């Protein structure tokens, strides 16, 4: 019995054969690559907003529904109130979220550094957009 080679020639090397990949337009391949990169979370800032929204919903919305404040009405997360209180920046919001202020406890231990930053970025974005409701 004749011995056969361990590795046969690739199927695409056969004359007249086109591999399935060669039938896909290059633009579609780039689009697929971009979708995979985004889907794998390699584009961190693009995915930061949903993480901030989810963390806010889980840890903050109990008192700050739609940017309000059920404990102290004047201490809302609306832009005018943040400006009046001198905390109209993402960094100032992060400092309060981490360390607390007044009756509000800090959440650094629960959210971690990245979570605090994500929540602060999301809250600041919502404040600037006047807390739109979906």
CA dihedral 54, 58, 60, 64 (to 10 degrees): 80
Question: What's the pLDDT score for residue 3?
Answer: 53
Name the least confident of 27-31, 33-37, 50-54, 100-104: 33-37
User: Phi-psi region for residue 17, left (φ > 0), alpha (ψ -120 to 50) or beta?
Assistant: beta
pLDDT band at 44 (very low <50, low <70, confident <90, very high): very low
At 25, is the secondary structure helix, strand, or coil?
A: coil
Distance CA 19, CA 4 (A): 24
pLDDT band at 57 (very low <50, low <70, confident <90, very high): very high
> What is this structure's pTM?
0.63
Mean pLDDT of the chain: 79
With a cut of 70, say whether residue 25 has pLDDT above it: no
Question: What's the pLDDT score for residue 105?
Answer: 95
Superfamily the domain 44-128 falls into: Cytochrome c-like domain (1.10.760.10)
> Nearest-CA neighbor of 120 among 84, 99, 89?
89
pLDDT band at 26 (very low <50, low <70, confident <90, very high): low
At 101, is the secondary structure helix, strand, or coil?
A: strand
- Residue 72 is given by DSSP the state -
Distance CA 73, CA 111 (A): 25
Question: What's the pLDDT score for residue 133?
Answer: 81
Residue 67: partners with Cβ closer than 8 Å, 6 or more residues away: 76, 77, 78, 123, 126, 127, 131
With a cut of 60, say whether residue 84 has pLDDT above it: yes
With a cut of 60, say whether residue 14 has pLDDT above it: no
């Amino acid at each position: 019995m004749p011995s056969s080679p361990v590795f046969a020639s690739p199927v695409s090397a056969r004359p007249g054969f086109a591999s399935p990949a060669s039938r896909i337009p290059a633009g579609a391949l780039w689009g697929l690559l971009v979708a995979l990169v985004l889907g794998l979370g390699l584009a961190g800032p693009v995915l930061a907003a949903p993480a901030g929204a989810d963390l806010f919903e889980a840890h903050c919305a109990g008192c700050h529904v739609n940017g309000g404040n059920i404990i102290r009405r004047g201490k809302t997360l609306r832009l005018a109130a943040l400006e009046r209180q001198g905390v109209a920046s993402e960094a100032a919001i992060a400092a309060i979220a981490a360390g607390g202020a007044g009756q509000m406890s800090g959440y650094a231990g629960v959210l971690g550094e990245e979570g605090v930053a994500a929540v602060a970025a999301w809250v600041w974005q919502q404040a600037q957009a006047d807390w739109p409701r979906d």
